[in-house]
Amino acid sequence: MNRTPAFYGLFFLVVLAALLFRVSGLELRPMHHDEANQAVKFGSLLEEGKYRYDPTQHHGPSLYYLTLPFAWIGSGTSFASLSEVTLRLVPAVFGAAIILMLLLLKDGYSPPALFFSGILAAVSPVMVYYNRFYIQETLLVFFLVGAIASGWRYLQERRWGWAAAAGFFSGMMFATKETCIILFAAATGSLVLVRVLGGSIKSRENPESKEKNSRRATLVHLLVFGGTALAVSILFFSSFFQNPRGILDSVLAFKTYFGRAAGAGFHSHPFPYYLKMLAYSRYGNGPVWSEALVLILALVGCAAVFLNRSQQMSERLFLRFTFFFTILATAIYSLIPYKTPWNILPFYIGIILLAGQGVVFLLNLSRKVIVQSLVILILGVGLCHLGLQSYRANFIYSADPRNPYVYAQTSPDFNNLVQRVEEIARFHPEHKQMLIKVITHPDEAWPLPWYLRSFGKVGYWQEVEEAGPLSDVPLIISSTDKVDRLQLQIRDSYQSEYYGLRPEVLLALHIRKDLWDKFIKERTLK
């Protein structure tokens, strides 16, 4: 499979299939509280044109600024008109673009290896599931692949354009999420290890300049790389010079995140958490989930890095870099106690690249057609299994706790609470301008701010006593542990209903009796 029009045609079909898989049914899963948090933060930028980096929450600014064109096309500048689909289109499109970006590695990976890596990335359940999440991880992986690919091409050609591209993607990584430093450390360590093993990439001769490989040229290119990365970071963190303080905050933020990584609390998980989730998962009577095929192929790819001597030196060196980068990034992420499942993506792309190489290695073990046919057959069955799991994860078990990728996910029952609020608003004289008081713990308030974004008078309090008079409020939403104290004020003048927020977490909706009676009367007449 050479780099022919047929290869590029097949590769683009893979990208198209990946895109369709990622953009279909984006509205099916309720907004996760992390997604809602990001969405409300973006709402300020959309409607007011203002953004200030928060060094303690939300992560970097790139997600919000890159969402703007999607929002302008989908809903204009109205936050209330914004939809889950519009927001989730951002990571979905970038998720498919990750596969397209792999083409920049064409001189480091053979075309067949890139092709098989692309297919695995297209159908991988964990990749597809989190490429449909409105959070930063997908963008971080996209920029990571761009930085590695640009850096690789620079090492081969020594052109300042590739140095600038590598700087741009590195700057965007920094402007996306603070965990980029893990990836920078893994990449740097990998380059050192490749060098220690006696590998160095010689650039191709370029008649345009005899000084391409001189120390002076290299220094200039390093300045181009660093200057571009710095410029991109400054632009985004300063909100395009509207908030200079954001530049300093982007550095100070690491104190917060280092502390969070050490004191993980609820998010503390053991070392093998990520690999176990990939290898085998089953909860209750749910189906078995496994990406063992990718892991096994990646192990074969690791062996191929050192056993296959038929590769060109440049390809061998890049495979070694991928090997070391994947090992280091996986180890660092696994050693940090603070773990959320979507953090798997930045190192899993390395595992997928090694798996693609593993497929090629197996196909080249024997020239016998029957052996190669058997490898293709096993791979085909495995890809169908991965595709089936992706379908289940995103269209059947998208919010089901039996899905291993579901993590503190908002329950589908929460949609019923939102629907009830919408229904009751029709019977109030002020409709969506009626007063709603929310009395919950901070972690139980989300994703209410997103779902109540079209209501004009919504207030949030942590304690009943702080919320002021409650006896005449049309709607009150509370945590279940607030109900007893709440009843001391509202007594029998409200109808209370309970809805699932997340597994084992309920919210109470208290509806003033006159509104409840009107609602029941209309429903009875129907």
Residue 383 pLDDT: 96
- The rounded radius of gyration (Å) of the Cα atoms in the chain is 26
Alpha carbon distance 222, 210 (integer Å): 18
Strands 435-439 and 475-479: parallel
Contact residues for 200 (Cβ-Cβ < 8 A; gap 6+): 317
Full pLDDT tens readout for the chain, 526 residues? 566 888 899 999 999 999 999 999 999 999 999 999 999 999 999 999 999 999 888 899 999 999 999 999 988 889 999 999 999 999 999 999 999 999 999 878 889 999 999 999 999 999 999 999 999 999 999 999 999 999 999 988 888 899 999 999 999 999 999 999 999 999 999 999 998 887 665 555 454 444 445 777 788 889 999 999 999 999 999 999 999 999 998 998 888 777 766 665 677 889 999 999 999 999 999 999 999 999 999 999 999 888 876 667 777 889 999 999 999 999 999 999 999 999 999 999 999 999 999 999 999 888 888 988 999 999 999 999 999 999 999 999 999 999 999 999 999 999 999 999 999 999 999 999 999 999 999 989 999 999 999 999 999 999 999 999 998 899 999 999 999 999 988 888 999 999 999 988 999 999 999 999 999 988 887 6
CA distances from 480 to 278, 291, 496 (A): 35, 39, 11
* Sheet arrangement for strand 457-461: 457-461, 435-439, 475-479, 505-512, 494-502
pLDDT of residue 210: 47
* 38 contact partners, CB below 8 Å, separation of at least 6: 58, 63, 64, 87, 134, 135, 136
Give phi and psi for 458, each to the nearest 5: -125, 125
Cβ-count burial 221-231 (b if 16+ within 10 Å, e if not): beebbeebbee
- pLDDT score of 96: 97
CA 451, 515, 80 angle in degrees (round to 5)?
A: 20
pLDDT at position 300: 96
| Dist. CA 161–CA 104, nearest whole Å | 14
Under 8 Å between Cβ of 379 and 114 = no
Measure the CA angle with vertex 508, ends 500 and 417; round to 5°. Answer: 55
Q: What is the pTM of this model?
A: 0.93
Q: What is the pLDDT of residue 208?
A: 45
Q: What is the pLDDT of residue 310?
A: 65
Backbone angles phi, psi at 439, to 5 degrees: -125, 95
